[in-house]
Amino acid sequence: MNPAPAQAPRPGSKAADGVVKGRCRDCSSFNASPAELERAFPGLASMGSGYGAVRGNDGLCAMHGRYLSGLSSCGSFSRR
Amino acid sequence: MTAQAQHSPSSPAAQRGWSALWKVEDWWAIWIGLGLVLAAVLLFKSGSSLQWLAVAPAKWHAPAELAAHFAAQWPRYAALFVLWSVLFGLGAWSLGLPLQHFLPSFACVFLVSILLYALGQWDQASRYSLEPPLVGLLLGLLVSNTIGVPRWAEAGFRVEFYIKTGIVLLGAGLPLTLIVWAGPTAIVQAAIASLVTFGVIYFVGIRLGLDRRLAAVLGTGGAVCGVSGAIAVAGAVGARKEHAPIAITLVVLWAIVMIFLLPLLSRALGLPTGVAGAWIGTSEFADAAGFAAAQAYGGYAGHVPGIGGSADAAVNAFTLMKVIGRDVWIGVWAFVLSFIAISRWDDTGIQQRARVSEIWHRFPKFVLGFLLASAAVSLFARGLNYGDYKKTVIPLLVAPLQGLRVWAFTFCFLSIGLTTRFRELASAGIKPFYAFTAGVVVNVVLGYLLSAQVFASFWTSFGQ
């Protein structure tokens, strides 16, 4: 019988080592400032906006170099 | 680069919960737009009107006539400036933009908008194709790409804030029954075009070896909602930080081309305003750019021989196609693509979940304001007969709101040019360019076929 596949922990929940990981929105590597996003994404303000609803709670992660949801998480979490 | 935020709404949590009501631009567009609708209704019920505030240059032939108009009406322009400064200033301040930058910048936008509006009212303007949206855009592009504008001034060039407010006001001029009647056709047409365009960009991108997330961001930018669609999906799928700027560059460049190309082609083909508006709504990428094209084309009605339909039909058809047909689905696209990214694409080392609630969180809330404005005026006018509606409600209630809407749109068109600096846009690379351009070509042809062939009679009658 095959062992049950290991499941990735839910974002923000307890990791395998039992340590509670936070979500990206609380991480020191995460930046969701609309003004800084408009600086980081040239042209965003000319036909879009950093202040609009469609952004949800997304922000830039300096650790992984990604633009992602603030509800994500990873093992490199560092509370701000 | 944009103006620095004064008091930062940087916490993403600020966009969740009740604080979103004053921290998100869409909600401010609703408060301003619906506030003006409510004021217009109350004034109308008390026997007055917003007419005095909604001043606009009259048709003129000789410059002396224009000068006489401004000499007589300047108090109304001053009051209009105060009104917009207070409303947009309050919103800008709440969003975190510094008022000491916003107000002088907005004053410049307002003054130039008066000149643009006046130019459009010249009786020879259509002869020289001096459509205010296009002139405003070109003027802004010329200034920002040659002499430049100071960074602080960008606080007043809030393209999306102005266009969203204008769209809410536009709702007051569109009967709810018309939206309900035309909405399903717009949704069907937009769904066909969006799915095909996304598929073309995505699969051409994959064939060219692009990252799946980049291909998805490009596809949504081209198929759904331009820059807004691109950043919504970039966040939903956890794209690399350089992916969204690539999509933004391509959307902005092609959107500017389409602002001029689609009205030009529509005019050459002699399309009625309703058909052209539907085509622009299907094939233009960004709301602001599309409204510039649609309003410019609406200006041909009654001035250019062979262009049938009413002047408002181009903007109204565009709105239904773009806002109801495409924009409202942005959350669904983001949810579906995030689910696919998590379950099927390569692991990014980041734990993400596809949440159905994202459909609401990413929903462009200003659309609710547009629908509520339409419902409010429709309900108010329900008990009136058509004669009274035409004689009193249109000139005293609807027309002033539409006059204010034209002002908001003019601020937006000028701001597009002033914020677009070609040399600062990210380098897109040849493969993303090919993939996106393949989608553009298919989308334009498909948009024409759907608007001017398959649903031609519908959009023609819509414009009557």
**Interval B62-106: pLDDT, tens:** 999 999 999 999 999 999 999 999 999 999 999 999 999 999 999
Complex ipTM more than 0.85, yes or no: yes
pLDDT confidence of residue B16: 58
Per-residue pLDDT, averaged over A46-74, amounts to 94
d(CA B115, CA B136): 10
Question: Which residue of chain A comes nearest to B352, CA vs CA?
Answer: A72
Contact criterion met (CB below 8 Å) for B399 and B157: no
- Is the pLDDT at B157 greater than 70? The verdict is yes
Q: For the CA atoms of chain A, what is the radius of gyration?
A: 16
State the pLDDT confidence band at B129, using cuts at 50, 70 and 90: confident
Residues on chain B touching A15 (C-beta within 8 angstroms): none
pLDDT confidence of residue A3: 44
Residues on chain B touching A73 (C-beta within 8 angstroms): 350-351
Provide the residue ranges of all domains of chain B, joining segments of one domain with +.
21-462
Distance from CA of A1 to the nearest CA of B (A): 25
Of the candidates B5, B235, B288, the beta carbon closest to that of A67 is on B235
Burial of B106 (0-12, 13-18, 19+ CB in 10 A): buried
- Is the pLDDT at B9 greater than 70? The verdict is no
Per-residue pLDDT, averaged over B121-133, amounts to 87
Q: Which one is predicted more confidently, A20 or B255?
A: B255
- Is the pLDDT at A42 greater than 80? The verdict is yes
- Is the pLDDT at A1 greater than 50? The verdict is no
CATH architecture label of A20-43+54-80: Single Sheet (2.20)
Per-residue pLDDT, averaged over A33-53, amounts to 94
Per-residue pLDDT, averaged over A62-68, amounts to 95
CATH architecture label of B21-462: Up-down Bundle (1.20)
State the pLDDT confidence band at A17, using cuts at 50, 70 and 90: low
Q: Which one is predicted more confidently, B35 or B177?
A: B35
pLDDT confidence of residue B161: 97
- Is the pLDDT at B203 greater than 70? The verdict is yes
Interface touch A59/B12, C-beta < 8 Å:
yes
**Interval B187-200: pLDDT, tens:** 999 999 999 999 99
Q: Is A16 on the interface with B (CB under 8 A)?
A: no
Interface touch A52/B426, C-beta < 8 Å:
no
Q: Tell me the CB-side half-sphere exposure of residue B277, using CA atoms within 13 A.
A: 36
- Is the pLDDT at A2 greater than 80? The verdict is no
State the pLDDT confidence band at B17, using cuts at 50, 70 and 90: confident
State the pLDDT confidence band at B403, using cuts at 50, 70 and 90: very high
**Interval B256-271: pLDDT, tens:** 999 999 999 999 999 9
Question: Which residue of chain A comes nearest to B289, CA vs CA?
Answer: A47
pLDDT confidence of residue B257: 96
Per-residue pLDDT, averaged over B213-238, amounts to 96
d(CA B285, CA B222): 6
Per-residue pLDDT, averaged over A35-44, amounts to 94
Of the candidates B1, B349, B364, the beta carbon closest to that of A54 is on B364
Per-residue pLDDT, averaged over B389-412, amounts to 94
pLDDT confidence of residue B463: 65
Per-residue pLDDT, averaged over A53-75, amounts to 94
pLDDT confidence of residue B15: 52
CB < 8 Å from A in window 17-46 of B: 20, 24-27
**Interval B303-319: pLDDT, tens:** 888 898 998 999 999 99
State the pLDDT confidence band at B1, using cuts at 50, 70 and 90: very low
Provide the residue ranges of all domains of chain A, joining segments of one domain with +.
20-43+54-80
- Is the pLDDT at B2 greater than 50? The verdict is no
Per-residue pLDDT, averaged over B109-117, amounts to 97
- Is the pLDDT at A14 greater than 80? The verdict is no
